[in-house]
Amino acid sequence: METSNRNEEHTPEIVFFDIETTVPNRAGPGQERRFWMLEFGAMVICPQKLVEIESYCTLIKPGDLSVVALRSTRSDGITREAVIKAPMFVEVADKIYEILHGKIWAGHNIQRFDCNRIKEAFAEIGRPAPQPVGMIDSLGVLSHKFGRRAGDMKMATLANYFGLGQQKHRSLDDVRLNLEVLKNCATVLFLESSLPNMLSNNRHSGSSTITTRSKNNVNNKKMSSSYNREESNSRKSPPTASIGYIRSVPYPTRASLRKMTERVKSILCRAQSSQSINNLIKHSHSIIR
């Protein structure tokens, strides 16, 4: 009997969600800035395969229509005409609760913004808010792991960095874009961790290839043993006294041989005049050096 994606290994599902709201004017003294929810979009995915299981998106009619512009100046295109026939939050609260509660919540900057809007909306209708079993905020994760190599950490910037197109600022579109950005970032980080000397910013000078070797390969045991001995010797400095050790000497040219011969003759003459074997040895050593 086949097991469905939703029950595979009893792992909690991940739900990516995004909320579009009004942009409130700056509040006066003693007043609180009010965000009205205009759209909710979510996509439930299987954590093992990262495939979409379910998606849901709805426009939401705010309690005060005057806060929505007749003509949107934002790229999302949400106007008063677009939301005037949309359901109010209380009408879609059950579905939003069902899709969020008991799952791992994921999204971009959801901890500081989207989660708070969900709590506020449920509190306003006097109902308990859904609770996550885990949280993946891609803003925090990517800031720590991926860094600012793309520029800033806005979703639009990251999407442009990977050539994924423009951010539409519509809930379900942004949710799907968020997942693709995470996949691309994860792939880059995986490759960098697999080939650190080649792809990491902290490259080792002079290292152009990476050699891997299996120490447990039975068929290549003798070859590996020989390779290990050679590699070990190459990493050590030459021994001071070793049988069979040959010191490399530069190949002499004719000019250098002529000069050395003249120096030897001069030394021999001085040695014969002084009749001192010690001087001969002394000067001979100076030539060898």
Please answer whether residues 22 and 63 qualify as being in contact, where contact means their C-beta atoms are separated by less than 8 angstroms.
Answer: no
Specify whether the CB–CB gap between 215 and 227 falls below 8 A: no
Does 108 participate in catalysis according to the annotation? Answer: no
3-state class of 8 per DSSP? helix
- Among residues 10, 101, 108, 169, the one annotated as catalytic is 169
3-state secondary structure of 106: strand
CA dist list (Å): 69 to 95, 114, 170: 27, 22, 16
Residue 97 CB-density burial (10 A; 0-12 exposed, 13-18 middle, 19+ buried): middle
The DSSP call for residue 244 is T
Residue 183 contacts residue 50 (beta carbons within 8 Å): yes
Give the C-alpha separation, 24 to 69, whole Å. 12
Candidates 107, 116, 11, 96; CA nearest to 54 is 96
Catalytic residue IDs: 169
